[in-house]
Structure 1
Amino acid sequence: MHLVGLCRTSGDAVLLAIRVAKKSQRQVANDIGMEPAQLSRIISGNAHMPADMALCFARAVRNWGWQQWVAHSCGMDMVPRTESAEEKLARLEAENAELRMRAAA
């Protein structure tokens, strides 16, 4: 969180997340299906990271740095969501049903 707090812009946070992952900007852009030039514009502040790419980006860099910056800039912190046993059972049943449908197709 200390490093996230030092980021002044969303682009700074995106670049920090990439550096923590020890990947190149080009690698991350390819991983998330974005043109390297677009990612460069995001980092330089001439464009913004699309919110609907947040999960894909986090998976590519294997950290939540950018999302933590967004929360921090709003005066909040990110905490892992916990699910009850009933919620977990419902989620697993839904995932199981989806896998069965795919296997049957």
Structure 2
Amino acid sequence: MQKELPLLGPVQGITRVPANLVSLCRTSGEAVLLAIRYGQKTQRQVANDIGMEPAQLSRIVSGSAHMPADTAIAFARAVKNWGWQQWVAFSAGMEMVPRVESPEERVARLEQRVRELEFVEAA
């Protein structure tokens, strides 16, 4: 019985799609389809996972509609890869890399945290 519960197994993270595959995509729809196929899911499964009508996802893949930017994270989680986002960066001549906090941002974040703790302590 426990072997049948998928929640008890290891959870894969979101991976990158090989750049050579991303570079073959000519349109956003092709990149969406690449991400879906690379994630080994069906369009219907992905649509259900991200709360989108299957017909709308089909229009996105065919090029008659575009993937809404605010579904990017949910889409990446559903297909378990960054393929579509990589294509967006690639099409702009960029590369998608993890964000790193700058020293200035770190100081500002820590100063804000100190102010919050001082406020809590004073109350």
**TM-score bracket, shorter-length normalisation:** 0.7 to 0.9
The size of the alignment, in residue pairs, is 94
Cα offset for 1:82?
Answer: 2.1
Instruction: Provide the C-alpha distance between the structure 1 equivalents of 2:43 and 2:52, rounded to a whole number of angstroms.
Output: 10
Aligned amino acid, residue 6 of structure 1: L
Q: After TM superposition, which residue ranges in structure 1, 4 or more long, deviate above 4 angstroms?
A: 84-87
Instruction: Provide the C-alpha distance between the structure 1 equivalents of 2:39 and 2:84, rounded to a whole number of angstroms.
Output: 12
Aligned amino acid, residue 70 of structure 1: V
Q: How does 1:57-96 map to 2 (within 5 A)?
A: 57-83=75-101, 87=106
TM-score by length of 1: 0.80
Match of 2:13 in 1: none
Unaligned runs of 5+ in 2: 1-18, 114-123
Bigger shift: residues 15-24 or 77-86: 77-86
Q: How does 1:20-35 map to 2 (within 5 A)?
A: 20-35=38-53
SS in 1 for 2:74: helix
Match of 2:16 in 1: none
Q: Does 1:40 align with 2:62?
A: no
Identify, as 1 or 2, the structure richer in helix. Answer: 1
Unaligned runs of 5+ in 1: 95-105
Aligned amino acid, residue 29 of structure 1: A
Q: In terms of Rg, which structure is larger?
A: 2
Identity over the aligned pairs, expressed in percent? Answer: 74
